[in-house]
Amino acid sequence: MDQVIQQSPPNLSNEFIEEIFNKNNKNVLNTLTELWNITDKISKKDKNKWDDIRETCDAFDEEMSKMMKSKKNDIDNK
Between CA 64 and CA 67 the distance in angstroms is: 5
Confidence of residue 20 (pLDDT cuts 50, 70, 90): very high
Residue 43's region, left for phi above 0, alpha for psi from -120 to 50, else beta, is beta
The per-residue pLDDT for range 23-48, each reduced to its tens digit, is: 999 999 899 989 988 555 566 777 78
Q: Where are the domains of the chain?
A: 2-38, 42-78
